[in-house]
Amino acid sequence: MAIGIDPTVDFACKRLLGSPDHPAITLHFLNAVLGGHPPITTVQILNPIIGKGFDDDKASILDVLATDDHGRFIDIEIQTTLPAGLSERLTYYAASQLVEQLGEGDSYRELRPSIGICILDAIRFRESAALHLDFQLRSPSGELLTDCLQIHLLELPKYQPDADNGVIADPIKQWIHFFRFAAISSPEELRQQLPDLVFSEAIGVLEMIARNPEEKRFYETRLKMQRDEQARLEAAEERGEARGEARGEAIGRVRVLQSLAGVAESTIEDLRMHSSEELAAMEVALKRQLRERS
């Protein structure tokens, strides 16, 4: 039987990666994303969920904030949609986390790396096949200016499991597989493909949410919020596409009318610079010319 709890729901994600009761899960995830160079051996969750430390406030479950044994500050978040300005927001949060380290009179040499990690159940960079995108301050030829500002993006939909359903060896693929398929897989299926003991622990966290009525209720509340947000974005995209189609039809009508009226035909690029109202006015004027000619 499938586990039925989706780890991309922010509440479940924070139970997995933001709980002081399960540091091994957080350590394994961070070492997978950051490459284990240097290896992280301890991590402190700065904003954990403890006991009943949650409510139905939409803002109550956000990122996982942590620091590791190298003094680095890490922000982990899950996104199931592709909101406008996501890249800028991730940059802003990481930069803010960097700036907040220094007080008056502190030395810049005291700055520790600020790292943002976004698990994205959408595709931001379609031109790249990479599942894990690592953004740092580098020159075009690869020289690293500093590691003080880093953003890591995991794009879940790009992942396709191997046809043989065998053991997954790559740590990044292990976690992406878990986030993509845990909800629809049985514990046995997951343990077969992800035999590392840390994933047995992660499976146990999801099973605990499924068994606990209060946590299951809160999980379902958060799931509904995420689905509502997805529906709003899809509706906005449909409205935008409809407006785009209407503008394209208006541009086409203007060009036909210009041709019939014997006036210089505008390029599509020129007409795209006009508002919908201006295109409508041009269409009215051209029709008037044709009527007067008739």
- The span from the CA of 141 to the CA of 139, in Å, is 5
Mean pLDDT, the chain, rounded, equals: 89
Looking at residue 13, its amino acid is: C
User: Is residue 162 predicted with pLDDT exceeding 50?
Assistant: yes
Give the pLDDT band (50/70/90) at residue 59: very low
Can you tell me the mean pLDDT for 212-234? 89
- The span from the CA of 76 to the CA of 153, in Å, is 10
> What residue spans of 156-212 are helical by DSSP H?
171-181, 187-193, 197-211
- The span from the CA of 286 to the CA of 294, in Å, is 13
Q: What is the pLDDT of residue 294?
A: 62
Residues 6+ positions from 56 with CB-CB distance below 8 Å:
218, 221
User: Is residue 88 predicted with pLDDT exceeding 90?
Assistant: yes
Please write the tens of the pLDDT for every residue from 123-144.
999 999 999 999 999 999 999 9
Q: What is the pLDDT of residue 82?
A: 87
Q: Kindly state the tokens that stand for 86.
A: 């996501």
The separation between CA 11 and the C-alpha centre of its own chain, rounded to angstroms, equals 15
**Are the CB atoms for 18 and 117 separated by under 8 Å?**
no
Nearest-5° angle of CA 45, CA 50, CA 55?
115
Give the pLDDT band (50/70/90) at residue 2: very high
SS (H, E, C) 125-173: CCCCCCCEEEEEEECCCCCEEEEEEEEEEEEHHHCCCCCCCCCCCCHHH
Can you tell me the mean pLDDT for 5-23? 95
β-sheet bridge partners, residue 67: 44, 73
The H or E element that residue 24 is part of is helix 23-34
**Rounded to the nearest 10 degrees, how much is the dihedral formed by the CA atoms of 178, 10, 69, 92?**
120
Can you tell me the mean pLDDT for 273-290? 84
- The span from the CA of 83 to the CA of 236, in Å, is 11
Least confident of 136-140, 149-153, 276-280: 276-280
